[in-house]
Chains A and B, each alone.
Chain A
Amino acid sequence: MVNPLPRLPQFEYIRMDSVEKTVSFLKDKQDEARPLLGGTDLFVVMRDRRLHPKFLVDLKHLDGFKTLTFDNKKGLTVGAAVSLNQLISSKEVQKHFPVLAQAAKQVGGYQLRNRATLVGNLCNASPCGDTIGPSMIYNGKANVVGPSGERVIPLNGFFTGPGQTSLEIGEIVQSLSFPLPPKGSKGTYLSIGRNKLSDLAMAAVTVSAFPNEKSTSGFHFRIALSAVAPTVIYVKEAQELLADQPINDTTIEKAAQIARRVCKPIDDIRASKAYRREMIYTLTLRGLHEVWKSLQS
């Protein structure tokens, strides 16, 4: 057993005055440098001796990184340095992307959310990260910049494994874009932790739906499961069921059972895989009923 350090190890704090210089530095230093946003995950990992970067490159001051904008046509743009509290308190986020705010509120306590950022949370790519499911369900895209220029990575393909994303060395996420959700969208994020709040999720479900003429049922549902697979996973089979079949207690029950079947939880110190599986069933069931109820009202 390795005892964590009593304080942060030595490193150099770096601030470049442009995105280009930042990206260039990160590419140059490779594994020796890490980008710094809120630091809430990074500092813990550094004290735990799991990472020892020589350079921490602050991104927060870069142009536009702290900006949260909403446009009726383009949707929501969340700068990389926008804190979770900033996100939660935005009226536009509350109105148009309520599940994102709902999930962000589950992260830590108020003080932590003043430092934790949405982009940081996503790039940390924890299998149980609360904001990942909602970000995916809202069709978020990561606006990435790197040594080879800019590219856009849809979040649905962004997470490649526990703690892993498709970002290459030198690449950083400048912002996230979320298109306006389809008209009539409803959603919810349900999680279960050991404490009532502020704990990491043992299991979590994001459910969203909107009226869709193209579906037999008249609705398009999306169900994303967290903490029960290496990354957040969609329950495609259940989504298809809810598109093809009329929505009632029976289909909802079936959908919840499918979710239980397809999730791939593990045993760990927080919960057993058996419990996680059962909670996925319960949370999916509850989530679907909740969303269905609000679609009808």
Chain B
Amino acid sequence: MGKTKKIPKLIGTSVPRVDLQEKATGEAIFTDDIQFGNKLLYARIKRSPHPHALIKSIDTSQAENYPGVKAVVTGADFAGRIGLYLKDRHIFARDRVRYVGEPVAGVAAVSEDVAERALDLIQVEYERLPAVFLPQDAIKPDAPLIHPDLGEYEVVNFIYPKPGTNISNHFKIRKGEPENSWQNCAAIVENEYYIPHIQHVPLETHVAVAKVDLSGKITLWTSSQSPFAQRDLIAKTWGMSPSDIRVISPFVGGGFGCKAGVTMEALPIVIAMKVKGHPVKLRLTREEEFYTNFVRQALLIRLKIGCDAEGNILAMENTMYWDGGASTEYGVNIARAGGYSCTGPYDIPNVKADSYCVYTNNTIGGPYRGFGMSELHTGIEQCIDELADKIQIDKVAFRKRNVVEAGDILATGMVMHPNGIKTCIDKVAGAIEWGKSSQSSDPHKKRGKGIAVMWKAPAMPPNAGSSATLKFNSDGTVFLSVGGQEIGQGSFTVAAQMAAAALGVPVEWVRISRPLDTNYSSYEWQTVASRITWTMGNAILAAAKDARDQIFKIVAEAWSENPDDLELENGVVTSKFSSRKISLKDFVITGIPKGNDQGWIGGPIIGRGKFMPTYVTGLDKETGQGKRAVVHFTTGAQGFIVEIDTQTGKLEIIKAVSAFDVGKAINPDLVKTQIEGGMMQGISSALFEQLVFKEGVLQNPSFVDYRIATTVDTPNQMECYFVEVPQDDGPYGARGVGEHPMVPTIAAIGNAIYDAVGIRLHGPPFTSEKIYFAIKERGQTGS
């Protein structure tokens, strides 16, 4: 995989993104831009107004007869359940609804307007059931049971639901003897934090167009991070062969996890089955995007951490209650990831962790950038700060003393690999001048500095695979077919870079086959987990090697030379032995003629490669122990200098700094743009964002009251660094970094607030109101 070989110059160069011009001109096609012609029908969904209720009856007769309506469906039209790790969701509700916004009926009509009016004609009779909205309430024995059939749901073997309860997963870590360690601790901190629901807010809302032809084959055009996973999930649920389902996904206007798995995409499929031959489009409004699809699970986390007099962390108890919402088909794995990552990037010998994924009657919790890590670290990193204070050791020094090093045995028993977390800490601490106090010129304003560290492993099944195909054109240019989706992170660009570097052609010669199309693109599990550069990259390198092997074999045969003496660079094959040359364009499709017109050697070259980790093991159900829980961890640190106006509680970010160990930055500037964007999303989640639910009803389903960061909310200064401690099986040593920049942010800002004004807020968002009253309570209002 190129770890001992010299790294090509192209790797580590900030080549321009391959999709810049079409996005700058507006030519880039997103799913709602595709022109479908006159047969297109528009779908709208009737949704439950109740958080928990039985459906007594649905009368669709008036809607069916409404002029312009072509199809009406309800849960009665499709019995199947769908789910990635746990099949717990009906496409349209059957017999009961479990959250406000759950699809109850669907209409396809000649216009959105007609479809919407038809919805009003559908009569649904509900019988309300008691509902539950907090995970700590939902686990009580007398809580309303949201999924009475939990025991019957298909589930993967690494998720452990508890039938007869609202617990859809309980992941445990039992390492060492925490209960006997507290007596040896010189300082112990015990705290509880609540991190509320937030939403991904992609600028492009969900949109899917489904068409079912007369033979029953399905075509789905959708803004998707996961065309292949969607195809396979739909195939399983419909009992079809995946080859009869085609998922096409053009550019994605932001995913952040919400466009992974199958959510609303299945709705137009059910409707389309009633109007075969017609494409049926469903586009979520911004309001629907806020409350009907995926949100980030809320978390209640209880931590107890203790250290000895020297500041070595001896023990941790970590209990996490994840508010999974009405369906936890995806959320169960977030609870698992929270579980095996429960210590944060620290070496802790005694650990007891319980991570519960709990059903509630809130909106469906799903994958969100960080996959549980932001929520987890919000707790851990604030707790660590308090512990360092208690034992009176500098917070940076305390962290450096305890962070994981190569060779450490982690909470699951896995051995930690080399990593650059200490260098990241040093970079960040240096950039915010840790140790030097910062003063505001305004007597009412107080400044503080805070730092937080993090780690995250790609959370995925142990056998999530990637593949890549390189197809040549007669001029030597190449079509690279991958399944890794461009969701803004730059994956198409680094794919082209890696292919060009590994193959030996200029980067401009590599085109990505797009849009992604499961009929033609090479298989990729999903574009999630910050895994694509690493896993797709490995597949690309394998495909490039495969192509090179074929190329060298052909040329060697033609020249009667040894393939080992051949080199391919800039699209030209040269021999180190004889100095002969031949350009790819001269033979890569049509082969090389034998001497004296005696025939031909070669033919059209196709390089193919795959990558799937082979070494991830299962974990013991009772202890969470196993040889290798995850493929690897990306580590990093973040620091903030904040300034707080004590008279209003308003917080301004003076400086924001990040450093992440990416193994090898394939495209340094794209790594930086990911860090910048992630940090800003983190800042937004720390200061502004919260989905406010009242009895299951979202109170702020629009930008008016769900605030996100705007241009004027940016830090005065932002610095991004990356560190490169190579990943042993990463392409050129690379590791992912897409999610990580928003993971430590809430904690780092929380720690900076404490440094500034001596207050601890036990959950974001850190609004000016919360800060103001906390300061007042502490008796520190400026005067």
A196 and B113 in contact, given A3-B288, A275-B773 (Cβ under 8 angstroms): no
A271 and B769 contact, CB distance less than 8 A: yes
Is A192 part of the binding interface, using a Cβ–Cβ cutoff of 8 Å?
yes
A269 and B712 in contact, given A6-B285, A275-B772, A279-B648 (Cβ under 8 angstroms): no
Q: Which of A265-283 contact B (CB under 8 A)?
A: 269-272, 274-275, 278-279, 282
Count of B residues near A, CB < 8 Å? 35
- In the bound complex, what is the Cα–Cα distance between A9 and B116 (angstroms)? 10
- In the bound complex, what is the Cα–Cα distance between A258 and B410 (angstroms)? 60
A194 and B767 contact, CB distance less than 8 A: yes
B100 and A1 contact, CB distance less than 8 A: yes
A residues in contact with B47, CB < 8 Å: 3
Across chains A and B, the number of contacting residue pairs, with CB separation under 8 Å, is: 65
B residues in contact with A198, CB < 8 Å: 710, 712
Convert B148-183 into 0s and 1s, putting 1 for each residue whose CB lies closer than 8 angstroms to a CB of A: 000000000000000000000000000000000000
Q: Which of B493-508 contact A (CB under 8 A)?
A: none
Is A7 part of the binding interface, using a Cβ–Cβ cutoff of 8 Å?
yes
Chain A contact residues: over half helix, strand or loop, or mixed? Answer: loop
Is B194 part of the binding interface, using a Cβ–Cβ cutoff of 8 Å?
no
Count of A residues near B, CB < 8 Å? 27
Is B623 part of the binding interface, using a Cβ–Cβ cutoff of 8 Å?
no
Query: Of A1, A7, A279, which contacts B697 at CB under 8 A?
Result: A1
B112 and A6 contact, CB distance less than 8 A: yes
Q: B714 to nearest A CB, angstroms?
A: 10
Is B709 part of the binding interface, using a Cβ–Cβ cutoff of 8 Å?
yes
Convert A190-209 into 0s and 1s, putting 1 for each residue whose CB lies closer than 8 angstroms to a CB of B: 00101111111010000000
The chain B residue with its CB closest to the CB of A3 is B47
B residues in contact with A200, CB < 8 Å: 704
Convert B760-782 into 0s and 1s, putting 1 for each residue whose CB lies closer than 8 angstroms to a CB of A: 00000001110011001000000
A194 and B773 in contact, given A1-B698, A3-B287 (Cβ under 8 angstroms): no
Is B211 part of the binding interface, using a Cβ–Cβ cutoff of 8 Å?
no
Is B15 part of the binding interface, using a Cβ–Cβ cutoff of 8 Å?
no
A197 and B710 contact, CB distance less than 8 A: yes
Query: Of B283, B287, B713, B773, which contacts A4 at CB under 8 A?
Result: B287
A residues in contact with B697, CB < 8 Å: 1
Q: Which of B511-559 contact A (CB under 8 A)?
A: none
- In the bound complex, what is the Cα–Cα distance between A202 and B767 (angstroms)? 12
Q: Which of B25-75 contact A (CB under 8 A)?
A: 44, 47, 49
B647 and A272 contact, CB distance less than 8 A: no
B285 and A4 contact, CB distance less than 8 A: yes
A195 and B712 contact, CB distance less than 8 A: yes
A195 and B707 in contact, given A1-B101, A10-B113 (Cβ under 8 angstroms): yes
Q: Which of A98-143 contact B (CB under 8 A)?
A: none
Convert A4-26 into 0s and 1s, putting 1 for each residue whose CB lies closer than 8 angstroms to a CB of B: 11110110000000000000000
Is B688 part of the binding interface, using a Cβ–Cβ cutoff of 8 Å?
yes
Please name 14 further chain A to chain B contacts, defined as beta carbons within 8 Å, in addition to the given A2-B49, A198-B710, A278-B776, sorted by A numbering. A3-B287, A3-B288, A5-B116, A6-B116, A6-B283, A7-B112, A9-B113, A194-B688, A194-B707, A195-B710, A200-B704, A270-B705, A275-B768, A282-B648
Chain A residues close to B by CB (< 8 Å): 1-7, 9-10, 192, 194-200, 202, 269-272, 274-275, 278-279, 282
Could you give 9 example pairs across A and B, Cβ below 8 Å? A1-B100, A3-B288, A4-B285, A4-B287, A7-B112, A192-B650, A196-B713, A200-B704, A275-B769
Per CB-CB distance, the 10 closest pairs between chain A and chain B, nearest first, are A275-B769, A196-B712, A194-B707, A282-B647, A6-B112, A197-B712, A1-B697, A4-B287, A6-B285, A269-B705
